[in-house]
Amino acid sequence: MKQDEKNLLLNWYYEMGVDESITNATNNLRESRIEKYIAPQNKIERVVKLSSHNNPSALVESARVLADGAKDLNHLRQVVEQFEGISIKKTATNTVFADGNPSAPVMIVGEAPGANEDQEGIPFCGQSGQLMDKMFSFVGLNRQKNLYITNSLFWRPPGNRKPTPEENAICLPFVEKHIALIQPKLLLLVGATAAQTLLNSEEAITLMRSKKYSYINKYLQQEIEVMVMYHPSYLLRQPSQKKFAWNDILKIKKKLAL
């Protein structure tokens, strides 16, 4: 195989989410400087398009029918795990459904699984999740007792890229039914993707997090109070923003009278 062909193949593997190769020893492709083989953005977009289904609207309708028929949380989990109508599932290691207490008063909806979450099948189990757990622990909130956690996507997008509108739309019926089955007292939308998707907004998260929202969908009988928060991965990149996240945590404590 020619070097140019090898470079293109390595780039394709990288964009599909492959970040390790296994030989007699395990090698991390990031550490072997695969970044120098990353194609321009237009090539990445072509890879995404090639992996997309020809009829997204039909897939959204298929997801809606399955969500409609989910009778309880276990049934919904089974439906999501068996769903084959989204291309990113083919490059993901695990379906990342949820974690925490299904009877919790607080439900967190994040954006999409990362590399750690994809490997473990648990949402927010990597570095950003550890930060989130620590933040909530200061006000007595934890996964075992009073938090339930999921994402707006159940599978890791290749290379941790941003989810496409089509991918968000396909997963949305499952997320809506998920929220209705949990029926939390407070819904926390963590990160721009989750907030914009569930609130049908194009506003920046810097504006959304300072506003009051209520949430309703076809499966709910009454509205749920919503708060929008920065994603913990953003806080890791921008530590100066942690003060705003802490203010949000204190608001949650007050709302729940913790």
Confidence (pLDDT) at 25: 44
Does one domain contain both 91 and 180? yes
Is there a single domain that holds both residue 169 and residue 116? yes
Distance, CA of 175 to CA of 242 (rounded, Å): 27
Q: Which domain holds residue 45?
A: 3-50
Are 36 and 143 within one domain?
no
57 within some domain: no
46 and 130 part of one domain:
no
Same domain, 45 and 72: no
CA separation for the pair 125, 132 (Å, rounded): 10
99 and 199 in one domain? yes
- What's the pLDDT score for residue 10? 61
User: Is residue 34 in some structural domain?
Assistant: yes
Whether 156 maps to a domain, the answer reads: yes
The answer as to whether 121 is a domain residue is yes
Give yes or no for a contact between 100 and 73, defined as CB atoms under 8 angstroms apart: no
Q: What is the pLDDT at residue 6?
A: 58
Give the gyration radius of the chain's Cα atoms.
19
CATH number of the CATH domain containing 208: 3.40.470.10
Whether residues 25 and 80 fall in one domain: no
Do 153 and 201 lie in a common domain? yes
Q: Which residue has the tokens 């780039």?
A: 11
- Assess if residue 127 is contained within a domain: yes
Please write the tens of the pLDDT for every residue from 8-27: 666 555 555 555 554 444 44
Closest by Cα among 249, 245, 250 to 234: 245
Q: Cβ neighbours of residue 243 under 8 Å, at least 6 residues apart?
A: none
Residues 94 and 32 in one domain: no
The reply to whether 12 and 138 lie within a common domain is: no
The DSSP secondary structure of the chain, one letter per residue, reads: --HHHHHHHHHHHHHTT--EEESSSEEETTTTTGGGGPPPHHHHHHHHHHTS-S-HHHHHHHHHHHHHH--SHHHHHHHHHH----GGGGG-SS----EE-TT-SEEEEES---HHHHHHT-TT-SHHHHHHHHHHHTTT--TTTTEEEEES-SSPPGGGPPPPHHHHHHHHHHHHHHHHHH--SEEEEESHHHHHHHTT--S-HHHHTTS-EEE--TT-SS-EEEEEE--HHHHHH-GGGHHHHHHHHHHHHHHHT-
41-77 pLDDT, tens digit per residue, is 343 333 333 334 457 799 999 999 999 999 999 999 9
Provide the domain count of the chain.
2
| pLDDT of the residue at 55 | 76
Q: Which residues of the chain have pLDDT under 50?
A: 22-53
pLDDT at 56: 77
pTM assigned to the model: 0.79
As given in the structure block, the two tokens for residue 51 are 């992996």
Asked whether residue 167 is domain-assigned, the answer is yes
The per-residue pLDDT for 15 is 55
The residue written with tokens 């949430």 in the block is 215
* Residue 107 domain-assigned (yes or no): yes
Q: Are 90 and 65 in contact (CB under 8 A)?
A: no
